Chains A and B, each alone.
Chain A
Amino acid sequence: MIRKISLGIVLAVWLSLTVFCIIKPQDDFSSAERRQLSKFPEVSVNSVASGKFASEFESYTLDQFPMRDSFRTIKAVTEFDLLGKLDNNDIYIQDGQAAQLLYPLSENSVNNATDKITSIYETYIEGSDCNVAVVPIPDKGYYLAEKNGYPSLDYGRMFDILKENLTFATFCDITDTLDEDSYYPTDTHWKQENLLPTAQKIADIFGVSVYDGEVKTAKEDFYGVYYGQSALPLKADKINYITNDSIENLTAYNYETNETGGVYVSEKLDGRDAYDFFLFGASPLVEIKNPECTTGRELVIFRDSYTSSIAPLLVKDYSRVLLVDTRYMASAFIGQYIDFENQDVLFMYSTSLLNSSYVLK
């Protein structure tokens, strides 16, 4: 009798999940993982015969599984709490910070990044009287990994490669202006409210000053990219920003979407990534104009997403700042938008991007 009841329990759970799988409506997007979810694939003789249908159906069953986020949490908790794993999906938790295991150093990737930077310099900047600097932005692993026994990038070697290959640029090490608390606990990015010393150090390269101001809160419950990747019940953080009247007067123009607004975009706070609040998020080309600065001085920043939050602080002594993201814009098109002449030029890339730089165009 016990066996029959046991069989009934197992089958009931099993078949219930099967029924859920079949009747559950399809979701379009996973906010936790920040990605589109696979849909039921198209059925055709060709797709079945080629195995394409089978492959896409497998993806569909994974992405559309009922209570997917809860199951991912079950896995993460089992890994960390039951099996004692120190990371789940390469995300580890240390001192309340979720961070990604970022290692080993890919010298090929760093060399690829410096080749791309050199190419941009030689094509557009060389001989133009621009001041050029390179600023690697340390990921939070710089402060967390090695001292807590996690595998760590060889940051020293990475910086040496940058110095050796980019001799035309002033190298600026900002690691001493940051610490592990400079980053959002659930996200890869840094917090703007902690970046004043960093911004000042960068500004010092060109002898300019930076904005200071009041810290305001834009969003009370910010869940970053590592929240979804780790699938752990982590605490939310706030998105704060520094502002003053001058910063409020800045105008930003997104060349990709033709949007014009301030440097802080409140509409983005409820979007897929609230960090897009800073300068629209990822975009190939963004222009900031400063009506209070009439010197005509310009700053061009080749950047990734980290720069979105620090750029508003750097605008103070510039009439115009251009942010170029060559992950989304081919280098060949830069000349259509920018004439290089006497500008200050920054190449600011995060160490995580430098270590996997093949997305740079």
Chain B
Amino acid sequence: MLFSSITFLYYFLPLVLILYYAVPNKLKNTVLLIFSLVFYGWGEPKLLLLMALTILIGYISAVVMAKTDRKGLKKTVFIVSITVIFAFLAYFKYASFFVRNFAAITGISAPVLNIALPIGISFYTFQIISYVIDVYWGREKCENNLIDFAAYVSMFPQLIAGPIVRYSDISLQMKERKFSSENLYLGFRRFVYGLAKKVLIANAFGALCSDFRGADAKSVAFYWVYAIAFTLQIYFDFSAYSDMAIGLGKILGFDFIENFNYPYISKSITEFWRRWHMSLSSWFRDYVYIPLGGNRVSVARHIFNIAVVWMLTGFWHGAEWNFIIWGIYFAIFLMLEKYVFKNVMEKIPSVIRHIAVMTVIVISFVIFNANGLSGAVSDISAMLGLSGFPLWSSETAYFIRSYAVMLAVGVVGCLPVVKKTFVKAERFTVIRVLEPIVLVALLLVSTAYLVDGSYNPFLYFRF
């Protein structure tokens, strides 16, 4: 089920909230679990089986590891559970990729595997893995209550596309949550802003990208417009989902971690990854990069560590070579920043650094959104004017004119200035009085777009 759907907004959510707030605190997790399962199984109920099995494996292995004093058993349970959980992910997400590439390399004919990717599997797998590792390392106590653990993993606000909330972040909140009208309001506010970001802004850029793909008379300029539009789309789409998830969390009494912090104001790639999809970056940092030795190793080993982490980051996003290349692409820039340009960068004017970083990011998302590796090469060639397209076309002019306001909104919306202005203005009573009217207007306009629109799933659903 999509947050940005009439079904969710006007049927599912009101029903959840009425029941959630009607039952006593001790039953809230049960209500949350039941509705989270409905949310997840809405379109494809059979996917519930896989998630339930993964939850059970995570739950049982953690309980066994916590109860036993036998190190050998603990280690065995840890390895087996992690292997099995990763095997699920590997099968459903990566089997086709490996079989296809194995066949291509060896020349052996292999069957075409049509394995549907269970929605959200990358997110809930990483949540369960982090929990099992934390319990194994002794950093986290195991959860004995299956309902609480299942409610944590399947919690509908963040189940499908994050943030990747670790159990250690909300274990206390799973037991006790504070509810207030203030938090309820702030939760609705964050949710409605996220909804508007997704429906009014991200979907508009999505439409521009679709228009580009369907265009007859492409041009070099149109390729760049598309690249910028997709860069804006993925930010607004993904951060909107995080806004809605965090807002829903607040409505339900949870405080989820932030996932984005204005990544497009970064002046280095290192900074970008501190601001983009922060819950994923920190997951790889804590569970891959640091266990590999982090940066407290030799230069060669450090370069290896960076390469591994970023190749895995890319591969996490999708089972295609362009995602792996996308990860390695960032690894190269991170290494260059660390070992080649470290001293030079500080002397470059920040405007130029910002432009350079944004160029790197825009090209990265062209690779990311391409139709495989050959598609990425083709798109970048066209952007560089190497594919024979004219520099300009009347069609390009039309779409720039048609999306000019939205492009301006998108660029400004990436900057902290909007939030800063709002925070300052919020001190005035009149603004606080007007705010619910703005929220209602955004809700109604977003609803209007949904009523008249087509199906627009979140981009990160495919991961």
Residues of chain A at the chain B interface (Cβ within 8 Å)? 2-7, 9-11, 13-15, 17-18, 21, 48-49, 51, 54-55, 57-58, 61-62, 65, 68, 71-72, 74-76, 78, 82-87, 89, 103-105, 146, 149-151, 154, 231
Contact = CB atoms under 8 A, between A and B. Distances in A.
A85 B409 CA distance: 13
Contacts of B188: 7, 10-11
A231 B452 contact: yes
A146 B215 CA distance: 15
A7 B7 CA distance: 22
9 contacts: A2-B429, A18-B10, A54-B1, A65-B6, A83-B405, A85-B403, A146-B394, A151-B217, A154-B216
Contact of B406 (A10, A76, A83, A154): A83
Given A49-B46, A104-B215, A151-B216, 18 more contacts: A6-B185, A13-B440, A13-B443, A14-B10, A18-B11, A51-B43, A58-B5, A62-B450, A68-B451, A71-B451, A72-B452, A75-B445, A82-B405, A83-B405, A84-B405, A85-B405, A149-B401, A151-B217
Interface residue tally of chain B, by bracket?
35 or more
A18 B437 CA distance: 18
B204 A83 contact: yes
B115 interface: no
Contacts, number: 136
Contacts of A89: 452
Chain B binding site: helix, strand, loop or mixed by DSSP?
helix
Contact of A7 (B45, B184, B449): B184
A76 to B, nearest CB: 8
Given A10-B436, A49-B46, A78 B448 contact: yes
A11 B21 CA distance: 14
Interface of B: 1, 5-7, 9-11, 14, 42-46, 181-182, 184-185, 188, 192, 200, 204, 214-217, 394-395, 397-398, 401-406, 409, 429, 432-433, 435-437, 439-440, 443-445, 447-453, 455
A149 B393 CA distance: 11
* Pairs A-B, 8 closest by C-beta atoms: A104-B216, A6-B436, A74-B448, A75-B448, A86-B402, A61-B6, A84-B405, A7-B185
Contacts of A75: 445, 448-449, 451-453
Given A7-B185, A65-B6, A84 B404 contact: yes
Contacts of B1: 54
B413 to A, nearest CB: 13
Contacts of B401: 86, 149
B45 A48 contact: yes
A68 B449 CA distance: 11
A71 B452 contact: yes
Contact of B398 (A6, A15, A74, A151): A151
Interface centre among B432, B433, B451, by most chain A C-beta atoms within 10 angstroms, is B451
A154 B217 CA distance: 11
Contacts of A231: 452
Interface centre among A2, A6, A72, by most chain B C-beta atoms within 10 angstroms, is A6
A66 B402 CA distance: 30
Contacts of A4: 181, 185
A216 to B, nearest CB: 37
A337 B391 CA distance: 55
Nearest to A61: B6
B181 A7 contact: yes
Contacts of B394: 146, 149, 151
Contact of B439 (A10, A18, A83, A87): A10
Contact of B448 (A7, A51, A72, A87): A72
A62 to B, nearest CB: 6
Contact of B402 (A2, A5, A72, A85): A85
A10 B440 contact: yes
Contacts of A55: 43
A226 to B, nearest CB: 15
